[in-house]
Amino acid sequence: MSPAPLTLMVARRVSRGRYTDFTAWLEEGRALAADFSGYLGSGVLAPPPGDDEYQIIFRFRDADTLAAWEHSASRRAWLARGEGLFVAPQEHRATGLDGWFQDATGQTPPRWKQAIAIWLAFFPVSLLFQALFGGLLAGLPLLPKVLVSTLALTPVMVFLFIPLSMRLLGPWLRGEVSIRARLTRRMHQRGA
């Protein structure tokens, strides 16, 4: 059995007035990571309006390949070039699916909440994919059709939509607020 892929989730708050420099620096780091053996991909979640904290996700084949990248001279030089571009850095490592859901203390929400969060991310993306490409794939036999759709959807889900779902549903997943209370609060904010 092969080791589980490892995900490094990094949060960085952009220093005031350094947005352009920060985003260029961030893309440089993603390109740097892509040159390392075992790199599986990365993604960036921009902050919601009114916030300045970016979520950056790096995924590697295993702990050894992540460690090789983390301890490389080129990454250290890249981090040094980033001095002053961000504040309050935070890092979190996660293995497997539970890693998407772990909070800073290592706690995970109940499986039923995890299932809902994944479904809320997967359903609209799958629906859109079928609307856009379902007709093109309709004539294919089942195996190639499923192969193409999973090859296209898996990276999009892993690096973009599941992390986005976790961020948007974070308070509910952690039991800090119910969905109903959150919706009610938003309705009152819009009405004000």
Pairing assessment for the beta strands 39-45 and 86-95 based on DSSP bridges: unpaired
What contacts 101, CB < 8 A, 6 or more positions away?
Answer: 108, 109, 114, 117, 166, 173
pTM over 0.75: no
What pLDDT shows up at residue 169? 84
What pLDDT shows up at residue 131? 92
- Tell me which long-range contacts 164-169 makes (C-beta under 8 A, separation of at least 24): 164/45, 164/121, 165/117, 165/118, 165/120, 165/121, 166/100, 166/101, 166/117, 167/45, 167/55, 169/117, 169/120
CB atoms within 10 A of CB 52: 17
pLDDT in tens, the chain (192 residues): 566 778 888 888 888 889 899 989 999 999 999 999 989 888 888 777 778 888 888 888 888 888 899 899 999 999 999 999 988 777 766 655 555 666 655 567 887 888 888 888 889 989 999 999 989 988 988 888 888 888 888 888 877 888 788 778 888 887 776 667 667 777 777 766
Name the residue among 70, 62, 80 with its Cα closest to residue 10: 70
